[in-house]
């Protein structure tokens, strides 16, 4: 099918019209230049002066997790433990085998008190209830859920923590519950993927770096199989660069021995780097810091792997020509990983090893990332909430060199994303936050303005930089003849509008592989 698009304002281009066929841009030019060929087109879309951008690339999120999240009990609107209890009570009426919820944040409660086992037992002791905090790194369970997960007061776990009395699980301890809840079948996994993709398309996203393998339980194979089938059927509406996370070194070894490595796949679903989660989050006080948390002197957070295991994962990946990208939020974890990268990363970083998040950083660490040319996957959307807690958690000195997005963007290969479902994948909100570094939900809260991106840089962080991270910049990320026809149509000139209004812009249409996948 030949489609013509006319009367467009194309970002970074003098062209105003283009033709699309077989999933690619076949001609890009002025309306006059395209005119003669429109007669042969099956369809001509008049964009009426709207703004066209390359399809946005969200360089790190969890597509299956996003679909799963949107299908489960939503707790982000809760302002108290009682709110949570009310919602759980209501959900129980649906008579599901488990009540699984996510999204509460005790920082939004007047009491600042997090929900505990007793609060959930008060609602039900018969139906298992497991609720995950907004950041995905802490979970609270009722007695029944702990019982089904086989957790007792004696259970001990590496890389996580269990507070049995309160029913609170951190990091790897949550896997015990993930293993216990009902295993989704292929249809359910596909439903989650479709739900996640639909949400991405609404925001103009057509490519994602997505970490999915251990979202629902510990076995990566069912999710790999569903993605592979959907790619073959061309039913994916975002291109997926899989950031492969595993439950164990044995699983990773098996995956490699089965012949998978970076770049296996096609332009719909491709195996990307190995993803490792090396510490927790700032919100939950589980990110591993080099100093105690200012607002909780009893903890410095902790790392989720032993240094030996981390080392083995990263070396194994490199041996099979696969990059390792490591979730590191605290500066202590950044130190640990830099120390390993020092011996593994080749000059110029040809495999694209890197960091996901790299939030709390010291100046010399930033210099080391630049020297090694590491890839950095940051999330400017996190500024919205973290600007209100950063200084109170880590103090002014460490805060000043943290969330150093401009330093990273200008010095390394850094790209932007949402980490959805931690944040919804709202690209325009992410661009505004990168440009202003001022919270939208806590208007008094802001971060070091020296690290603001220009609007152009922020747009690039969601386009060219993402495609470079996925190593597909020779065919994606531009409205250009021969490139794959992925683009977003907006009602706003993001580069030149008032920065405080960027997030109010609207996505009018999203096109992936030449086909309209979202229309407002
Ligand atoms: Zn993530």
- In the predicted structure, residue 484 carries a pLDDT above the cut 90: yes
How distant, in Å, are the alpha carbons of 78, 239, 240, 244 from that of 470?
A: 37, 10, 10, 13
Per-residue confidence band for 324, with pLDDT thresholds at 50, 70 and 90: very high
* Mean of pLDDT values over 128-147: 95
- Residue 371 parent element (H or E): helix 363-372
Pick the CATH number of 3-55+482-519 from 3.90.1150.10, 3.40.50.1260, 2.30.40.10, 3.30.70.1150: 2.30.40.10
Statement: 64-180 belongs to CATH 3.10.310.70: yes
State residue 137's pLDDT score. Answer: 87
- In the predicted structure, residue 288 carries a pLDDT above the cut 90: yes
* Mean of pLDDT values over 262-289: 94
Alpha carbons 359 and 140: distance in angstroms, whole number: 25
* Mean of pLDDT values over 405-427: 97
* Mean of pLDDT values over 5-17: 97
- In the predicted structure, residue 260 carries a pLDDT above the cut 90: yes
Ramachandran region, residue 177 (left: φ > 0; alpha: ψ -120 to 50; beta: rest): alpha
Residues near ligand 1 ion, CB 5 Å cutoff: 419
Q: Where in the chain is the domain with CATH 3.10.310.70?
A: 64-180
Alpha carbons 374 and 392: distance in angstroms, whole number: 29
- Percentage of the residues of the chain whose pLDDT score is greater than 90: 91
* Mean of pLDDT values over 298-302: 90
- In the predicted structure, residue 352 carries a pLDDT above the cut 90: yes
Q: Distance from the CA of 271 to the center of ligand 1, in angstroms?
A: 16
State residue 172's pLDDT score. Answer: 86
Q: Distance from the CA of 193 to the center of ligand 1, in angstroms?
A: 16
How distant, in Å, are the alpha carbons of 318, 411, 484 from that of 415?
A: 22, 12, 20
Structure confidence by residue, pLDDT tens digits, 417-475: 999 998 999 999 999 999 999 999 998 999 999 999 999 999 999 999 999 999 999 99
Q: Distance from the CA of 123 to the center of ligand 1, in angstroms?
A: 31
Strand spans (E) along 353-491 = 354-357, 375-378, 413-416, 487-490
* Mean of pLDDT values over 403-412: 98
- In the predicted structure, residue 297 carries a pLDDT above the cut 90: no
- In the predicted structure, residue 493 carries a pLDDT above the cut 90: yes
* Mean of pLDDT values over 308-317: 96
* Mean of pLDDT values over 192-212: 98
* Mean of pLDDT values over 220-235: 96
Alpha carbons 80 and 84: distance in angstroms, whole number: 7
Per-residue confidence band for 302, with pLDDT thresholds at 50, 70 and 90: confident
Closest C-alpha among 399, 371, 367 to residue 386? 399
Q: Distance from the CA of 419 to the center of ligand 1, in angstroms?
A: 5
Q: CB-side exposure of 11: number of CA atoms within 13 Å?
A: 26
State residue 159's pLDDT score. Answer: 80
Per-residue confidence band for 5, with pLDDT thresholds at 50, 70 and 90: very high
Q: Distance from the CA of 241 to the center of ligand 1, in angstroms?
A: 14
- In the predicted structure, residue 94 carries a pLDDT above the cut 90: yes
What are the φ and ψ backbone dihedral angles of 146, each rounded to 5 degrees? -65, -40
Three-state secondary-structure class, residue 417 = coil
* Mean of pLDDT values over 52-58: 98
Q: Where in the chain is the domain with CATH 2.30.40.10?
A: 3-55+482-519
Alpha carbons 329 and 136: distance in angstroms, whole number: 14
How distant, in Å, are the alpha carbons of 54, 96, 330, 411, 413 from that of 336?
A: 37, 43, 10, 21, 21
Alpha carbons 98 and 91: distance in angstroms, whole number: 10
Q: Distance from the CA of 50 to the center of ligand 1, in angstroms?
A: 33
- In the predicted structure, residue 95 carries a pLDDT above the cut 90: yes
- In the predicted structure, residue 183 carries a pLDDT above the cut 90: no
* Mean of pLDDT values over 356-373: 97
Q: Distance from the CA of 61 to the center of ligand 1, in angstroms?
A: 6
**Summary mean pLDDT of the chain:** 96
* Mean of pLDDT values over 117-146: 96
- In the predicted structure, residue 356 carries a pLDDT above the cut 90: yes
Q: Distance from the CA of 330 to the center of ligand 1, in angstroms?
A: 15
């Amino acid at each position: 099918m030949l489609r013509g698009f006319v009367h467009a304002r194309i970002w970074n281009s003098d062209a105003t019209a283009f033709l699309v066929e077989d999933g690619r841009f076949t001609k890009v030019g002025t309306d006059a230049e395209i005119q003669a060929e429109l007669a042969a087109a099956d369809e001509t879309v008049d964009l009426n002066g709207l703004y066209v951008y390359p399809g946005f690339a969200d360089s790190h999120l969890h597509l299956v997790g996003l679909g799963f999240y949107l299908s489960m009990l939503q707790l982000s609107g809760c302002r108290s433990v009682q709110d949570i209890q009310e919602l759980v009570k209501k959900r129980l009426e649906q008579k599901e085998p488990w009540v699984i919820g996510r999204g509460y944040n005790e920082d939004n409660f007047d009491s600042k008190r997090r929900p505990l086992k007793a609060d959930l037992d008060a609602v039900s002791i018969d139906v298992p209830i497991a609720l995950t905090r907004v950041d995905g790194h802490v979970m609270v369970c009722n007695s029944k859920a702990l019982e089904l997960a086989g957790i007792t007061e004696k259970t001990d776990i590496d890389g996580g923590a269990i507070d049995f009395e309160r029913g609170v699980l951190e990091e790897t301890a949550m896997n015990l519950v993930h293993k216990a809840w009902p295993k989704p079948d292929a249809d359910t996994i596909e439903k989650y993927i479709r739900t996640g993709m639909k949400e991405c398309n609404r925001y103009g996203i057509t490519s994602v770096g997505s970490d999915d393998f251990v979202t629902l339980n510990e076995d990566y194979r069912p999710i790999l199989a569903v993605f592979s089938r959907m790619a073959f059927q061309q039913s994916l509406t975002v291109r997926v660069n899989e950031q492969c996370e595993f439950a164990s070194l044995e699983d990773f070894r098996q995956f490699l021995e089965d012949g998978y490595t970076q770049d296996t796949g096609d332009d719909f679903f491709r195996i990307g780097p190995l993803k490792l989660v090396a510490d927790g989050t700032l919100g939950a006080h589980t990110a591993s810091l080099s100093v105690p948390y200012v607002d909780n002197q009893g903890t410095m957070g902790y790392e989720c792997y032993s240094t030996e295991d981390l080392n083995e994962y990263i070396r194994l990946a490199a041996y099979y020509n696969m990059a390792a990208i490591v979730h590191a939020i605290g500066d202590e974890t950044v130190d640990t990983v830099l120390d390993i990268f020092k011996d593994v990363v080749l000059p110029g970083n040809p495999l694209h090893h890197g960091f996901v998040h790299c939030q709390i950083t010291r100046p010399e660490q930033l210099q080391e990332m630049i020297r090694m040319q590491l890839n950095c996957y940051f999330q400017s959307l996190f500024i919205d909430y973290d600007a209100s807690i950063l200084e109170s958690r880590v103090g002014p000195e460490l805060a000043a060199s943290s969330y150093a997005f401009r330093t990273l963007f200008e010095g390394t290969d850094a790209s932007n994303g949402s980490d959805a479902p931690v944040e919804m994948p709202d690209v325009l909100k992410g661009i505004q936050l990168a440009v202003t570094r001022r919270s939208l939900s806590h208007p008094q809260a802001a971060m070091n303005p020296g690290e603001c991106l220009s609007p152009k840089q922020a747009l690039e962080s969601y386009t060219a930089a993402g495609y470079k991270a996925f190593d597909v910049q020779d065919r994606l990320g531009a409205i250009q003849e021969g490139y794959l026809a992925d683009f977003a149509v907006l009602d706003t000139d993001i580069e030149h509008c008032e920065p405080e209004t960027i997030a109010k812009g609207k996505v009018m249409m999203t096109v992936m592989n030449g086909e309209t996948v979202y229309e407002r």
